[in-house]
Structure 1
Amino acid sequence: MEKSDSMWKITLPICINAIMSIGAYFVAVRLIPKLRDMFIKANLYGIDMNKKSSDKIPEALGVVTGCVFLITMFLFIPIPFSDYIFNNVNFPHNEFVELLAALLSICCMLLLGFADDVLDLRWRHKLLLPTIASLPLLMVYYVNFNSTLIIVPKPLRSWLGFSVDLWLLYYIYMGMLAVFCTNAINILAGVNGLEVGQSLVIALSITIFNAIELSGDLWKAHQFSLYFMLPYISTSLALFKHNWYPSSVFVGDTFCYLSGMTFAVVGIIGHFSKTTLLFFIPQIINFLYSVPQLFHLVPCPRHRLPKYDRETEKLNMSVAVFKKSDLNSLSRLIMGVFRTFRIVKWQEDKEGTVTCNNLTLINFVLLVAGPMREPTLTTILIIIQIVSSLLAFVIRYPLAWVFYDI
């Protein structure tokens, strides 16, 4: 009887959350087309550079699904605590504060993402703002847990011992996780459906991981994560329907910021931040590949979108053109390594003018597979995300047992 009561306590709030999430999907999917003209009238629109038409496409529609997501979560707040309220037992203030702090951080990033879409903030602001937004979350983690121990892999235990206390470095890592998650999705973008598609795969991967771990000792942390993931997935599916090729709306930086902070929140509060990072393998690869341009070791154009061919209606690699003499020694070393492994297309004329593909995973796929239609490119990139998630599960379970005995 006690076991069934315990399972009911775990699953009932999740079931209610799932029902509310289904409702959120239908609200969002109908609300988005109704608000298109409002965004265009407010000059929040763009032109799809990968299409022949020059129709105005409303920008930053991620704020709509973000608001539906937050409203769903606000309405859900009493549900996990109803048993304590009606039975007048000790109220779990620490869990309540965790939920509010998580919503505060996500709400801040939704606001800052929309501000970025409207004001076009500089990159240094995009790095600073997620750090500030994660502070309430880190403070709650410090007050409620303050666990900064990490288990050392078996091959290193003879030198470092069974565990190491990272102390302040662990908080720096969690703050950097929030910065990385919010920006990593943003820089792997530029074709219809990609931002939402990759985010949905990550969210579904986290949800599957939470479902697996619900039977473990940390079931509360994974239950907490599912509270956020289910409404996030439902509202993102509504946005994906309108953002898939040919896109009728653009999601904007608002959606990327919202998504990244949501993943960081559940990873930090749920005590699986390292596992969360495993689901970002394509984003990590894209970031490492983009480093020379992101840090201006190699000239970086404002837009690194694929180049649209109007005759074939296919996408080609976009390129950066610069003088080889403008590169410093570090830039030449890095690009020399890239050229050795043949992961860039490098063309150099007699005058020393270099034509090189822009360093993004999108352009790399086009480099390997050749020109293709936009929906095909997006599908390939989402498949890469799915395969990477499967690899993440292999690392998290079979390999974790090998290295950690867990």
Structure 2
Amino acid sequence: MNTQDEMLKSSIPMYVNAVMSVCAFGLTVHLIPRIKSMFVQANLYGVDMSKRCSEKIPEAIGVVTGCVFLITMFLFIPIPFTDCLFRNINFPHNEFVDFLAALLSICCMLLLGFADDVLDLRWRHKLLLPTIASLPLLMVYYVNFNSTIIIVPKPLRSWFGFSLDLWIFYYVYMGMLAVFCTNAINILAGINGLEVGQSLIIATSILIFNIIELFGSQWKAHQFSIYFILPYIATSLALFKFNWYPSQVFVGDTFCYLSGMTFAVVGIIGRFSKTTLLFFIPQIINFLYSIPQLFHLVSCPRHRLPKYNEKIDKLEPSRTVFYKSDLGTLGKLSMWIFRKCKLIKWEEDSEGFVTCNNLTLINFILIKTGPLREPKLTSILLIIQIISSILAFVIRYPLASIFYDV
């Protein structure tokens, strides 16, 4: 059987997966309004601080979409391997192990994310949990692939040669990718529809990339990615329906962890982890912008959400206050750079008492545009995410040919 015939035959599981995804969307839309009261009764609820009303809104609803997603994937497990089972063909044990390891990592992250929502874990635990959950995935990658060689860009080949073996550091990178993906979405959050919206755009970008690459030599790896991305998009789209302004439910850290681990899984097993990172350009920018507060170089309050102005029903940038003399050397340096680049709104009185906006991309948009209504602010951030995905495709295809032999 030639490659084209094999691709055509193996496309049947993708059609089955698409049908199951549609069913998963319908089930999620049906479940959320019927189950959300149970979360309130279990004291899993929050109050939307960006609204005049103070009604109880169910929290951690991401666990519902996560469970539907996992159930869909569990039911799908035998579908890609049906032909091998009934025709007594050599069973692809490596692919089967990849599938199970991917599900194990996502399942672990869903459990740990829900534990975070219930127990309100510290930030050091938020960094540790994705690392632990990614270990099954890294072990399977080591057993099945163990490819740690990267192609060196053309301008650097005179120093490093055509390729470079990163050895154990490649596994460190993949582990850090899982940590970054899960936490980056969580950091860029706090307004209705943003967590789910940005995740949907990233997932759709990955799906488009996989479809393009289905016609390449690594089509099986990208097919594997599609198996996971389609049900994820379906369940997340259903959640987006209830999380958009005015939000009826909060997604919680559970959804952020589930999303990040799903993206890390398809990137690592699908062998396009570097391309996956390209779709996180806004999250990378937000992380870099937040570093002074995340590493406590500058005063960091517990919540950095935009401040709601009830009089005008709009969001304004939230602020942090501190004495300039309390800043260390790195804190003063970072704030000096941000001020010179006009990236922050800095107010200082004669006694050295400083008022500065919290360092998030959300607050940065607000200091540049002025107060905005919540849905408009979310829309701007999602448009930035879409533009960043387009930029990622430009980097991946036209620009890649300049630096690599593709």
Deviations 1:218-257 (A, max 9, x none): 0000000000000000000000000000000000000000
Tell me the distance in 2 between the aligned counterparts of 1:4 and 1:177.
33
Tell me the distance in 1 between the aligned counterparts of 2:177 and 2:9.
31
Determine if contact 2:184/2:287 at 8 Å carries over to the other structure: yes
1:5 is displaced (CA, Å) by 3.0
Deviations 1:131-166 (A, max 9, x none): 010000000000000000000000111111000000
What is the letter of the counterpart of residue 183 of structure 1? Answer: N
Tell me whether 1:137 sits opposite 2:141 in the alignment: no
Question: Where does the alignment leave 5 or more consecutive residues of structure 1 unmatched?
Answer: none
Aligned to 1:154: 154
Structure 1 SS opposite 2:89: coil
Deviations 1:113-147 (A, max 9, x none): 00000000000000011001000000000000000
Deviations 1:285-316 (A, max 9, x none): 00000000000000000000000011110000
1:6 is displaced (CA, Å) by 2.2
Tell me whether 1:328 sits opposite 2:328 in the alignment: yes
What is the letter of the counterpart of residue 112 of structure 2? Answer: L
Aligned to 1:183: 183
Tell me the distance in 2 between the aligned counterparts of 1:8 and 1:74.
24
Aligned to 2:174: 174
Structure 2 SS opposite 1:57: strand
Determine if contact 2:10/2:80 at 8 Å carries over to the other structure: no
Moved over 6 A (4+): none
Structure 2 SS opposite 1:322: strand
Aligned to 1:47: 47
Question: Where does the alignment leave 5 or more consecutive residues of structure 2 unmatched?
Answer: none
What is the 5 A alignment of 1:342-361? 342-361=342-361
Tell me the distance in 1 between the aligned counterparts of 2:273 and 2:309.
41
Tell me the distance in 1 between the aligned counterparts of 2:63 and 2:3.
42
Tell me the distance in 2 between the aligned counterparts of 1:227 and 1:369.
40
Tell me the distance in 2 between the aligned counterparts of 1:389 and 1:47.
32
Tell me the distance in 2 between the aligned counterparts of 1:10 and 1:289.
44
What is the 5 A alignment of 1:245-394? 245-394=245-394
What is the letter of the counterpart of residue 11 of structure 1? Answer: S
Count matched residues. Answer: 406
Tell me the distance in 1 between the aligned counterparts of 2:52 and 2:271.
47
> Normalization by structure 1: what TM-score?
0.99
Tell me the distance in 2 between the aligned counterparts of 1:351 and 1:4.
73
Tell me the distance in 1 between the aligned counterparts of 2:143 and 2:285.
34
Structure 1 SS opposite 2:90: coil
Tell me the distance in 2 between the aligned counterparts of 1:114 and 1:4.
43
Tell me whether 1:98 sits opposite 2:105 in the alignment: no
Tell me the distance in 2 between the aligned counterparts of 1:291 and 1:335.
11
Tell me the distance in 2 between the aligned counterparts of 1:386 and 1:66.
24
1:2 is displaced (CA, Å) by 4.8
What is the letter of the counterpart of residue 194 of structure 1? Answer: L
What is the letter of the counterpart of residue 233 of structure 2? Answer: I
Structure 2 SS opposite 1:200: helix
Tell me whether 1:114 sits opposite 2:114 in the alignment: yes
What is the letter of the counterpart of residue 290 of structure 1? Answer: S
Percent of aligned pairs sharing the same letter: 76
Tell me the distance in 2 between the aligned counterparts of 1:282 and 1:268.
21
Aligned to 1:229: 229
What is the letter of the counterpart of residue 140 of structure 1? Answer: V
1:4 is displaced (CA, Å) by 5.7
What is the letter of the counterpart of residue 127 of structure 2? Answer: L
Aligned to 1:213: 213
Structure 2 SS opposite 1:354: strand
Tell me the distance in 2 between the aligned counterparts of 1:257 and 1:15.
28
Report the RMSD for the aligned CA atoms in angstroms: 0.8
Structure 1 SS opposite 2:284: helix
Deviations 1:61-89 (A, max 9, x none): 00000000000000000000000000011
Structure 1 SS opposite 2:11: helix
Tell me the distance in 2 between the aligned counterparts of 1:283 and 1:274.
15
Structure 2 SS opposite 1:30: helix
What is the letter of the counterpart of residue 133 of structure 1? Answer: A
Tell me the distance in 1 between the aligned counterparts of 2:92 and 2:59.
41
1:70–1:43 CA distance, 2 compared to 1 (3 A)? same
Tell me the distance in 1 between the aligned counterparts of 2:74 and 2:375.
36
Tell me the distance in 2 between the aligned counterparts of 1:65 and 1:330.
42
Tell me the distance in 2 between the aligned counterparts of 1:244 and 1:45.
17
What is the letter of the counterpart of residue 350 of structure 1? Answer: S
